[in-house]
Amino acid sequence: MKKLKELFNKIKELPDKDRQDITSLLWQLICYSPKFPLRLQQQQLLDEATPFSLEADDPHFSRSALKFNGFIWGNGSRKVLITHGWGSKAADFIDLIAALRSIEDLQVIAFDAPGNGSSEGELSNLMLFAKATEAVITTYGSPEIMIGHSLGVMANTMATQETGTKPNLLISIAPMVRLKENFIATMTNADVPKIAQDKFFENFEAIFGMPTSQFDLSEMYTPGTAVRHWLAYDPEDKVAPFAYLQELLTACPAISTKEYEATGHERIIKDTRLIADILKLVRG
């Protein structure tokens, strides 16, 4: 987190930002995922798992295959795959994973996406999240239940489409909906002028071969992706505003939803009400 704050302050204090090319700094600001050390309880949770390592190709940043680390709890017949959000890691789901382990017929799988947690990579992006999710599905089989938080919801959506997976239950928690707007908010907070923002988005399109505006969950999501889709959100979420989420829900009325007020974007995954509701859904 220290590195991200230093980078943010460096950009914010730059003179004449509208007259110089700061695109390289903006890539770091947008794509550097802060890493937080494991707490004792989180380390103990990982110590009880069966670890694994897979690879995800990164043609845009490192131009190499990045190893990412994953963890498996249990050997039940029903697979649950958890995909974390930006600046997060598998162990951040400690409370949910502990609760899911109380259900005997489950096998719970979670991983640290490239550039996050314990996995390789200096910078990360949605494509790497999705490729890692695809690699887990390809290696361990299609999960019956998929759980995603924030950017992990987008990654799960992309992975189901690429692998042809159709989970019986898809759980989306505080989904990121419009990635471009999130980038704009980050740059605006750092006092990046529009001319520099426009240059960044031009560079983004040149590198990825598509505009950032295509990373819109309302456009990416296909009805029928899962047998059942349940979505949890905080209506006052500042990171993933409800106004954007409403577009998805209007287009896909079959998605069941539940509000969790005053949880916030990051802490919602620890909410005891949410965890209790997920257990009910998983138990059927």
The ranges assigned to domains in the chain are 1-32+179-214, 40-177+217-283
- Residue range 40-177+217-283 in CATH 3.20.20.60: no
pTM over 0.95: yes
pLDDT score, position 19: 84
pLDDT score, position 58: 97
**CA angle at 100 for the pair 267 and 283, rounded to the nearest 5°:** 115
Over residues 69-120, the pLDDT tens digits come to 999 999 999 999 999 999 999 999 999 999 999 999 999 999 999 999 999 9
The C-alpha atoms of residue 15 and residue 23 are separated, in whole angstroms, by 15
pLDDT score, position 175: 98
The C-alpha atoms of residue 193 and residue 196 are separated, in whole angstroms, by 6
Q: For the chain, give the percent of residues with pLDDT over 70.
A: 100
Residue 118 token pair: 């314990």
pLDDT tier at 279, thresholds 50, 70, 90: very high
pLDDT tier at 41, thresholds 50, 70, 90: very high
pLDDT score, position 225: 96
pLDDT tier at 156, thresholds 50, 70, 90: very high
DSSP 70-124: EEEE---SEEEEEE--TT--GGGGHHHHHHHTTSTTEEEEEEPPTTSTTSS-SS-
What mean pLDDT value characterizes the chain? Answer: 96
pLDDT tier at 135, thresholds 50, 70, 90: very high
pLDDT at position 239 over 90: yes
State mean pLDDT over 161-175: 98
pLDDT at position 136 over 80: yes
State mean pLDDT over 155-171: 98
